[in-house]
Amino acid sequence: MNEIQTGAPAQNNEKLELADHLLYIAIKYRNALIGALVLIVCTGGGVFFWIQNQQNREQEAALQLSRVAPYFDHKEFGIAINGQGKMSGLKKIADDYAGTSSGNMASLMIANAYYLNGNIDSALKAFKSVSIDSRDLAAAALAGAGACYFEKKQFTEAASAFDDASKKAETTALKSLYLAKEANCFRQANQLAKAAELDRKIIADYPLSQGAAIAQQTLWQISGNL
């Protein structure tokens, strides 16, 4: 019974940890996208070839995304989403450049911003609307939806979303982490046997990963209630 009574702090920690993870994923891949654009533009001789083979709107979208990025990084989400003065916000970038890599990234950043600001319903809608080629970014969007369901205490839906995120992710670190989140959903739903079974699988399949460490800790916590 003690484990169930301490569920509230566990959920708060879960939100903070996942919020940090989602923010890290968004910033990491956004910076890589913008960095790739700068590298191509600075190659000189490759500019003409690149322009001929890339849509001009992607170049413009990436440049606009680079302008709004500092506001997102400093968690000034109102300005980041809606823009300021002549600077386009993430909403406009996502709408005007839908289908481009930067436009899709803007959509994911909007979803992250809503989640980090506590606007869970808007975040869920935004995460579910994200369409992006990168498997790890697509997985992050699925995990974001899972986080929203978790906040709404819809643990069955959250577990399913985290499971989908694990299957979509390319890196083993992300796969194990999302499975650990799924196991925690089972734990919060008081499906302790199911949580323990998944935790053991994570430890066996992804030893030394962050997900395995989380799974091992969870097993210790729920062992007395199995």
Structural domain boundaries of the chain? 2-169
Higher pLDDT, 163 or 19: 163
Helices (H), the chain: 2-5, 7-42, 46-53, 56-73, 77-82, 90-96, 101-116, 120-129, 135-151, 155-168, 172-188, 192-205, 210-222
CA torsion sign, 69 to 75 to 80 to 86? negative
* pLDDT tens by residue, 106-145: 998 999 899 988 999 999 999 999 988 888 888 989 999 9
Whole-model pTM: value is 0.78
Residues facing residue 87 across a β-bridge: 84
2-169 in CATH: which number?
1.25.40
DSSP 8-state assignment for residue 226:
-
Higher pLDDT, 45 or 141: 141
